[in-house]
């Protein structure tokens, strides 16, 4: 199940901009293509109103409509999203080091930032022959199950940690840690060791190792990870590689290392 996104417009009768955003919010990773009636129903907006707003969104380029009347997200939104300063500048500076890590290991390399109580992946490089992963660029994920999420949560403000750990935690596999006290111990280990290990918490065939990236103020602003097939490598052997990449990216961000 996808996580609920923050800031959704409430109700179908708000301002025009709010209703237009509500229509866009009907699209998800699981449902990237929808027809008029599906969008109207998911957005809880009258059919005629939805049709008018969809026409305007298509004219602007936020949506595209094919010959069968199916709507998809348009490239104009992608163009705007790529301008987001937190993701764009970080990604550009990190990319050479992510590519180096990918070439050395031939595994999946991921870069993520925290957005509220979730994480957002801003880059992913798939290694040749690497294990399949459930993440995508622009995708959101829980902070409690992935390596990058554990790093970001470990260094998040106390109120964010409390918010995350007092909510029900979705169990994705039999290895998913859902006990708040156990998670707090994991987060303390991340801060002490300088890296996180997510052992089969997302899927039973994957393991990830992640490390924090610092900005010029010494604050953790992102995390980088390797995702490998479970059993193919020791996580403690991967940790130095991931930490080296994280430090290199941090230096590129003028972190006081």
> Residues 16-58: pLDDT tens digits?
788 888 899 898 878 889 999 999 999 999 999 999 999 999 9
Q: What does the alpha-carbon distance between residue 115 and residue 94 come to, in Å, rounded to a whole number?
A: 18
Q: What is residue 79's predicted lDDT score, i.e. its pLDDT?
A: 72
> Residues 86-119: pLDDT tens digits?
655 788 899 999 999 999 999 999 999 999 999 9
Q: What is residue 8's predicted lDDT score, i.e. its pLDDT?
A: 42
Q: What is residue 88's predicted lDDT score, i.e. its pLDDT?
A: 58
Q: What is residue 4's predicted lDDT score, i.e. its pLDDT?
A: 42
pLDDT at position 232 over 80: yes
> Residues 51-80: pLDDT tens digits?
999 999 999 999 999 999 999 988 888 777
Q: DSSP letters of 59-102?
A: HHTSEEE-TTSEEEE-HHHHHHHTT-HHHHHHHHHHHHHHHHHH
Q: Are strands 70-73 and 63-65 parallel, antiparallel or unpaired?
A: antiparallel
Q: What does the alpha-carbon distance between residue 234 and residue 241 come to, in Å, rounded to a whole number?
A: 12
Say how many CA atoms lie within 13 Å of 252 toward its Cβ. Answer: 18
Burial of 160 from C-beta contacts in 10 A (0-12 / 13-18 / 19+): middle
Q: How far is CA 182 from CA 49, 143, 144, 165, 190, in A?
A: 49, 14, 11, 10, 13
pLDDT at position 200 over 50: yes
Tokens for 119? 């994480």
Strands in 220-229's sheet, in edge-to-edge order, are 140-142, 118-125, 108-115, 220-229, 206-214, 196-199
Q: What is residue 119's predicted lDDT score, i.e. its pLDDT?
A: 94
Q: What is residue 13's predicted lDDT score, i.e. its pLDDT?
A: 42
Q: What does the alpha-carbon distance between residue 18 and residue 12 come to, in Å, rounded to a whole number?
A: 8
- Sketch out the chain's domains with CATH numbers: 16-81 (1.10.10.10), 85-252 (3.30.450.40)
Q: What is residue 84's predicted lDDT score, i.e. its pLDDT?
A: 64
Percent of the chain with pLDDT over 90: 73
Higher pLDDT, 84 or 174: 174
Average pLDDT score, the chain: 89
Q: What is residue 134's predicted lDDT score, i.e. its pLDDT?
A: 73
Percent of the chain with pLDDT over 70: 91
Give the predicted TM-score (pTM) of the model.
0.72
Q: What is residue 179's predicted lDDT score, i.e. its pLDDT?
A: 95
């Amino acid at each position: 199940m996808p996580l609920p996104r923050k800031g959704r417009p409430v109700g179908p009768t708000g301002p025009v901009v709010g209703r237009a955003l509500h229509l866009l919010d009907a699209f998800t990773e699981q449902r990237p293509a929808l027809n008029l009636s599906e969008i109207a129903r998911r957005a809880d907006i009258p059919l005629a109103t939805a049709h008018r707003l969809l026409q305007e969104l298509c004219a602007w380029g936020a949506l595209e409509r094919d010959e069968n009347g199916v709507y998809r997200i348009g490239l104009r939104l992608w163009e705007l999203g790529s301008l987001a300063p937190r993701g764009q500048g970080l990604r550009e500076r990190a990319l050479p080091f992510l590519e180096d890590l990918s070439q050395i290991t031939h595994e999946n390399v991921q870069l993520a930032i925290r957005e509220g109580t979730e994480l957002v992946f801003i880059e992913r490089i798939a290694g040749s022959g690497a294990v399949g992963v459930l993440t995508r660029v622009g995708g959101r994920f829980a902070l409690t199950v992935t390596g990058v999420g554990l790093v970001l949560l470990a260094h998040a403000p106390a109120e964010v940690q409390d918010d995350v750990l007092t909510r029900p935690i979705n169990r994705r596999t039999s290895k998913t840690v859902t006990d708040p006290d156990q998670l707090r111990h994991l987060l303390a280990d991340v801060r002490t060791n300088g890296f996180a290990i997510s052992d089969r918490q997302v899927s039973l065939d994957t393991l990830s190792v992640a490390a924090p990236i610092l900005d010029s103020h010494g604050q953790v602003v992102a995390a980088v990870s390797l995702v490998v097939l479970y059993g193919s490598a020791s996580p403690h052997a991967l940790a130095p590689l991931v930490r080296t990449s994280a430090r290199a990216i941090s230096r590129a961000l003028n972190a006081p290392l």
